[in-house]
Structure formats: C-alpha cells, structure tokens
A and B are shown apart, each in its own frame.
Chain A
Amino acid sequence: MSEIFFEILRPGINTTIQDYGRKYLYHIGVTVSGAMDLRNHKLANALVSNNTQEATVEFAYQGPLLKLKNGKINFAITGDVVFQIIRKNSEVENGKCYKNYFLEQEEQIDIISTKNSVYGYLAIGGGLKLKSYWDSFSINTKANIGPNNGKKFSISEKIQIKNSIEAKGPDRQIDYNNVSNKSIRVIKGTNFDYFSTESQSKFFKEEYSVTNLTDRMGMRLKGSILENKKSTNIKSEGLIKGVIQVPADGNPIILLNDHGTIGGYPKIAVVISADLDKVSQLTPNTKIKFEEVSLEDAENLFKSYLSETNKYLNEIN
C-alpha cells in the first residue's frame, strides 16, 4: 500500500506540527511548545474522531496549500480560517471551519488565511505519521526539536499521514464562535513591587498594543512605559507560559509556548490559564487591557473554560 501524504505546494508563513507539548524538560532548557490555541487544537481532533492529544498541523496567518497523495482522508479545520477545497475536477469548494470533510487523492486544501486571529489547526482522521521527541510531536523551531528536523515546513516537503483504513466517518459539525476579547485577565507577578506606584496603576488602566514582534516565543507590547524603581534585572530564574516580563526599556513582553526556560527580567504579572488561548490569537496592532483577578477567581475561570471546552467536545461526540 502506498504511503498517504500531503505534498506541500505552498508552505504558508509558519506551518508546524503541534500537540500538547513537552513536560519535565524545563530544567535542561527545553521549553513546552505545543498548540498555541489548545481548545481549537482539541476541537479539530474531535471533529475527525481523533483523541484530542493527536498531533495537528498548526498554521499562522497564511496557511499551506496541500495536495493529497495516494489515499482518502477525513479532515477538519478550526480557528477563524478562510480555506478552499480544490476537487479533482478543478471544482473549488469554499470550506467551513468546525466541520469535517473527505478528501480524495490529488485533491487539494488551500488554507488561504486566518481572519482577525493568528493560528488555525488542521486535523486528519487517524492522525499524522511522525516521530516523537520526548513524548511529543511538537515542532520547536527555535531549538530545532521535533519532527521535520524541528523546522517549519517548506515547499515540496511531505506531511505523512497514517494509513487509515476507514477514511469515512460520521459527518460532524458544530457552531463555534471565536470570541476575541480585548481584556486579558492576570494575576500580579512576583516582582510587581519593582514598579513605581504610577506604573502599577497604568499597567491596569491603560491600553497596550500588540506589536509585530510577536511569535510562538512571545508577544511584545507597546504602551505606557513601565518604570522600574528597584532593578531592571533579577537573578535569572525559571519562566512559564503567560508570564509578563518587563525588560529595561519598560515595554512588557508576554511569554508564549516556545519561550526561553530561564530569564532575568522582572515579572509584573502572569496571564491566567483561562485566557492563554485567546492571548495567542491576538494580531499585531490590537489594543488590549489587563484586568487583575485573584488566584481563586483564576481557578474558577479555568473551570469554566474547561467545562465550556468539554461542552463543545461532547456536542461533537
């Protein structure tokens, strides 16, 4: 039986493979990686009857143009994504997110772009055929760890698909609305008191703008300069996803999935777990505001986030 794969006719801007990411490796300097928008990653998998941990193709802004070779597949795309399916007779079908489709060999998926968001996910029924690195298929392009030599995909490369015997599955579809919320909830960081009282209140009152210097490692913001009255450096220590650190120039940086594992800038705040998916989806020039919540609130908000995710997953199954 011939291998089923996608031939990459156009790689897109930043097309990688992601799953839940890596664990227990911070202490040797290997970061977590994984899907930037975990809920959309899960929903894509569920729509093609996969386990939610299965690896998906993550793309940013412009996605890939993929041609299927040697088989049939069942796929779904999630996010706020414009895509088309180019059928064998050259007929072009406009795709709809949160719905599964069947694709035959020589047919193509053209992921044109994400709308008012950054990341989208493509899941294939039965999964992708990949080698795992430390129990994860996630590609970390900064450390070159993961499948495809740890690099984003280039033209003419292949994405191997597991030979699923049964390409057909039930038709699945949900109504899902990617709500973009400009208010980001945070918990005060361990160095909040390094900043002047004025800067502390500005941090919560004024708008910050997402800059172009934003990728899977982190998101640089611009706005009111945060004045540090104690020290612009701390002794280097561990970092986690969601930490908002402020270097000497006074502009905050939100750390995202491929962040460095240790760093020496003061931590003014940390984005709550419930808001991490939506932070990842913020596009450059978006104006955001930080809102302080307590640990208890954050824990409850995460419960609501999880139960909402589960509600959609149950709706699919």
Chain B
Amino acid sequence: MIKNISNLGDASVYCDFGSEVNENINSEVIKYFNYLSQLVKNNKIEGITNLSPSYNKLIISFDLSLTTFSNIKNSLEKIHIENEVKRQSKNVKIPVCCEDKYGLDFERLCKKLKLNKKEILNFYFSKEYFCYMTGFIAGMPFLGDLKKNIRCDRLETPRVKVPKGSVGITEQFANIYTFESPGGWNIIGKTPKKIFIKNQIENPALIKPGDRVIFYEITEKEFLNWNE
C-alpha cells in the first residue's frame, strides 16, 4: 500500500511505500508501477509522462499542461489493485568471468570481508537475486539481497570509468554496468552478455524490476568466445 502521497515539485507525484528496502515493499511498488503502466498504455489516465519505481518509492511524472498533482492523486486514491495481478516477472541467467583482470576489486574485498576470493564467489553465486529497479544508467539492474558476509561499502573514491559489462557489489546489492560509466561499486567480474540493447526499441532491457537473476561463473575462454 502507498503510505503517503505528496508532490515532488509541480509536475510529479511522490508515492512513499515505506523506508525499508525489502522484497515485500518493492513488490508493492512494482505492482502499482505495472498497473499504472497499463492505464497509460490503454489511455485510461491522462498526462502521465514517466513512472519511476525504486526500492520503496514510485515517482509519477506528468505533463503540467495536461493534468495536475491533485488530479493524479485523486485517481491514485481510487485505485484498488487486486492481489492476483498477473506475475510479469521472469528468470534471467547471467554468465560472469571473474578472472583478476575483470574482477578489479578482489584485493580490497578480501581484506575488508576477511574472506578469500573463492569464498566470496561461492557466497555470490549461490543466491538468486531480485531486481528492485533499473536505472541510473540505461538498463543497470539493482539486484538484492547479497548474503550478509559479502556486503561491503562503496570504493572511497569512485572510478572515473568502470568498463561496460562489469559486475559489481555494494552493501546489500549486486549490479551490472550496462555502459562504461563512472562508478564506485566493488567490481568482481565481467559479463559478455548484452544487458541493454538500445536498437531493440520494444524491449531494450534484459532485466526488469521484479525479475529474478542468477549469476554463474564462466572461464575466460568462454567469455572471449561468447556468442549471442
């Protein structure tokens, strides 16, 4: 349920679902996101220009020349989403090569976590992750939750360039850099898989909020010969 609806500026609605980060709250956010996306698609609600689901918030942007905060708020308050909304999520498998040339931060991680590389990877690969949201850069998935013993802070000084395909961890989350970008996550490997394909206009992002992701390890040979 939405705990509080407020305005963020004059052209967006800020829906607060709570302060914690967990699958239950996030699933509520995604439920509303999916429902509103359908309304927009079917022209059942006017003026919405964007929907941004995140861990525990949903921001609805709208065109102020077509509607207002109070219009959207009124519509939101009338919405009753049935619980049996069709599950739209899917399972995705992501190959990762963890050779040291791709896993850039094992030295730091081993020291901070007091684990060796093999142990870190065992913990990392033996978990199914939930996609809370995508964004920051196009298609970047925020996946959780990491097992408690491999949670680590961000780098003190972020990298100016994290290579495309890098797979990172920080705090309770795992991610994938879909483009070369600045970033402060601990990099443990690289995937050859295309996560965001911008020419695939209809469906550019491989991983979407609500999807489940499993990472599996591949050798460098498999990495270099990867063919999609």
Could you list which residues of chain A lie within 8 angstroms of chain B, going by C-beta atoms? 23-30, 32, 133-134, 142-145, 187, 189-190, 235-240, 242-243, 260-263, 267, 270-273, 295, 298-299, 302, 306
The residue of chain B having its C-beta at the shortest distance from the C-beta of A262 within the complex is B135
Task: List chain B residues, Cβ under 8 A from A24.
Answer: 37, 40, 49-51
Given A26-B52, A28-B205, A143-B179, A240:B8 Cβ within 8 A: yes
The residue of chain B having its C-beta at the shortest distance from the C-beta of A261 within the complex is B135
B34-88 contacts to A, CB under 8 A, are 37, 40, 49-59, 61, 64-65, 68-69
| Chain A CB within 10 A, most for which of B6, B7, B10, B140 | B10
Could you list which residues of chain B lie within 8 angstroms of chain A, going by C-beta atoms? 6-12, 14, 19, 21, 33, 37, 40, 49-59, 61, 64-65, 68-69, 133-140, 142, 178-179, 196, 198, 201, 204-205, 208-209
Task: List chain B residues, Cβ under 8 A from A187.
Answer: 7, 9-10
The residue of chain B having its C-beta at the shortest distance from the C-beta of A143 within the complex is B138
Number of A-B contacts (CB under 8 A): 139
A272 in complex: contacting residue of B10, B49, B68, B179, CB < 8 Å: B10
B52 in complex: contacting residue of A133, A261, A272, A295, CB < 8 Å: A261
| Chain B CB within 10 A, most for which of A133, A187, A239, A263 | A239
Q: Please report the C-alpha to C-alpha distance between residue A100 and residue B208 in the assembled complex, in whole angstroms.
A: 47
Given A30-B138, A133-B201, A190-B8, A237:B51 Cβ within 8 A: no
Given A27-B209, A133-B198, A237-B59, A190:B6 Cβ within 8 A: yes
Q: 16 A-B pairs, CB-CB below 8 angstroms? A: A27-B51, A27-B53, A27-B134, A29-B137, A29-B138, A29-B196, A32-B50, A187-B9, A235-B19, A235-B57, A237-B52, A262-B135, A273-B11, A298-B9, A302-B10, A302-B65
Q: Please report the C-alpha to C-alpha distance between residue A187 and residue B11 in the assembled complex, in whole angstroms.
A: 11
B9 in complex: contacting residue of A144, A235, A237, A273, CB < 8 Å: A273
Task: List chain B residues, Cβ under 8 A from A261.
Answer: 52, 135-136
In the complex, what's the smallest C-beta–C-beta distance from B91 to chain A, in angstroms? 19
Q: Please report the C-alpha to C-alpha distance between residue A144 and residue B134 in the assembled complex, in whole angstroms.
A: 18
- Chain A to chain B: the 5 pairs with minimum beta-carbon distance, closest first: A238-B52, A270-B9, A238-B59, A29-B135, A298-B10
Task: List chain A residues, Cβ under 8 A from B12.
Answer: 240
Given A237-B54, A270-B9, A260:B135 Cβ within 8 A: yes
Q: Please report the C-alpha to C-alpha distance between residue A26 and residue B33 in the assembled complex, in whole angstroms.
A: 12
Q: B69 near A27 (CB under 8 angstroms)?
A: no
Task: List chain B residues, Cβ under 8 A from A262.
Answer: 52, 54, 133, 135-136
Q: Please report the C-alpha to C-alpha distance between residue A239 and residue B137 in the assembled complex, in whole angstroms.
A: 12
Task: List chain B residues, Cβ under 8 A from A237.
Answer: 52, 54-57, 59
Q: Please report the C-alpha to C-alpha distance between residue A242 and residue B61 in the assembled complex, in whole angstroms.
A: 12
Q: A28 near B135 (CB under 8 angstroms)?
A: yes
Q: B8 near A267 (CB under 8 angstroms)?
A: yes
Task: List chain B residues, Cβ under 8 A from A238.
Answer: 52-54, 57-59, 135
Q: B198 near A145 (CB under 8 angstroms)?
A: yes
In the complex, what's the smallest C-beta–C-beta distance from B204 to chain A, in angstroms? 7
Q: Please report the C-alpha to C-alpha distance between residue A263 and residue B59 in the assembled complex, in whole angstroms.
A: 13
Q: A295 near B21 (CB under 8 angstroms)?
A: no
Given A190-B14, A237-B55, A299-B10, A273:B64 Cβ within 8 A: yes
Task: List chain B residues, Cβ under 8 A from A28.
Answer: 134-135, 138-139, 196, 204-205, 208
The residue of chain B having its C-beta at the shortest distance from the C-beta of A242 within the complex is B9
Task: List chain A residues, Cβ under 8 A from B208.
Answer: 28
In the complex, what's the smallest C-beta–C-beta distance from A146 to chain B, in angstroms? 10
In the complex, what's the smallest C-beta–C-beta distance from B11 to chain A, in angstroms? 5
The residue of chain A having its C-beta at the shortest distance from the C-beta of B21 within the complex is A235
Q: Please report the C-alpha to C-alpha distance between residue A262 and residue B134 in the assembled complex, in whole angstroms.
A: 9
Q: Please report the C-alpha to C-alpha distance between residue A51 and residue B33 in the assembled complex, in whole angstroms.
A: 33
The residue of chain B having its C-beta at the shortest distance from the C-beta of A267 within the complex is B8
In the complex, what's the smallest C-beta–C-beta distance from B209 to chain A, in angstroms? 7
The residue of chain A having its C-beta at the shortest distance from the C-beta of B65 within the complex is A306
Task: List chain B residues, Cβ under 8 A from A240.
Answer: 8-9, 11-12, 50, 52, 59, 61
Q: A260 near B10 (CB under 8 angstroms)?
A: no
Q: Please report the C-alpha to C-alpha distance between residue A28 and residue B142 in the assembled complex, in whole angstroms.
A: 11
Q: A29 near B64 (CB under 8 angstroms)?
A: no
Q: Please report the C-alpha to C-alpha distance between residue A27 and residue B68 in the assembled complex, in whole angstroms.
A: 21
Q: Please report the C-alpha to C-alpha distance between residue A24 and residue B59 in the assembled complex, in whole angstroms.
A: 12
The residue of chain B having its C-beta at the shortest distance from the C-beta of A235 within the complex is B55
| Interface contacts beyond A145-B198, A236-B54: sample of 19 additional A-B pairs, CB < 8 Å, sorted by A | A26-B52, A26-B135, A27-B50, A27-B135, A28-B196, A133-B201, A143-B137, A187-B10, A190-B6, A236-B55, A236-B133, A237-B55, A238-B135, A240-B59, A242-B9, A263-B136, A295-B7, A295-B69, A302-B64
